[in-house]
Chains A and B, each alone.
Chain A
Amino acid sequence: RKEVEQDPGPFNVPEGATVAFNCTYSNSASQSFFWYRQDCRKEPKLLMSVYSSGNEDGRFTAQLNRASQYISLLIRDSKLSDSATYLCVVIPTTGNQFYFGTGTSLTVIP
């Protein structure tokens, strides 16, 4: 079983829509969680960390559900510029590496 699993999509949504992605992780002892964004043919960049209590950054909200072992990313009022692949990243308690999901592809349509 993979350490981190994501629905690859693609998610095609109209501008202004709200869209949510989930990411499940297999190691219940995982300690740190992140969302990275990767534009087409570009490098991944940190979008936001995910805190236990949930956190918000503008139109983006990240949440952690330890009981069900998933993290989520909610994007409100989608913009064309949000089109990208969103990568879920998990670090286990042993802290010995990042585990990347394969990413969820989002296209925001005018």
Chain B
Amino acid sequence: DTAVSQTPKYLVTQMGNDKSIKCEQNLGHDTMYWYKQDSKKFLKIMFSYNNKELIINETVPNRFSPKSPDKAHLNLHINSLELGDSAVYFCASSQVLWGELFFGEGSRLTVL
């Protein structure tokens, strides 16, 4: 049973399109996150939700919109995709805020 699962694992799309990445965790954790890992392997937080409430919203373009329908899900929607959005997006969860992070396998987004 995968603890943190995200779909799709691979996404290839054209510039200007809108896409979503879904994330679900079955660990019963209260906090979920979205991280972006660029080509230089730098992991940077994008959003953090605690009990379905947004608590961190780093300086990402407002084309990125997270949605948390419940504590176990945190989805990421991206509008008007740009070349620079190409990266691996990791969903993660933790039992408490800033506790040990459990990552999903990542969603590799390629924008052409």
Q: Chain A residues in contact with chain B, CB under 8 A?
A: 32, 34, 36, 38, 42-46, 85, 87, 91, 95-98, 100, 102-103
Question: Is B100 touching A87 in the complex (CB atoms < 8 A)?
Answer: no
Q: Contacts A43-B90, A43-B103, A43-B106 hold; do A91 and B41 have CB atoms under 8 A apart? A: no
- B104 contact set on A, CB distance < 8 A: 43
Question: Is B45 touching A97 in the complex (CB atoms < 8 A)?
Answer: yes
Question: Is B98 touching A100 in the complex (CB atoms < 8 A)?
Answer: no
B56 on interface, CB distance cutoff 8 Å: yes
Describe A's contact surface by its main secondary structure. Answer: strand
Q: How many A-B residue pairs have CB under 8 A?
A: 39
Nearest A residue to B90 via CB reads: A43
15 further A-B contacts with Cβ under 8 Å, apart from A44-B101, A45-B103, A98-B45, are A32-B98, A36-B101, A38-B41, A42-B105, A42-B106, A43-B105, A43-B106, A91-B98, A95-B98, A96-B56, A97-B45, A97-B48, A97-B58, A102-B42, A103-B41
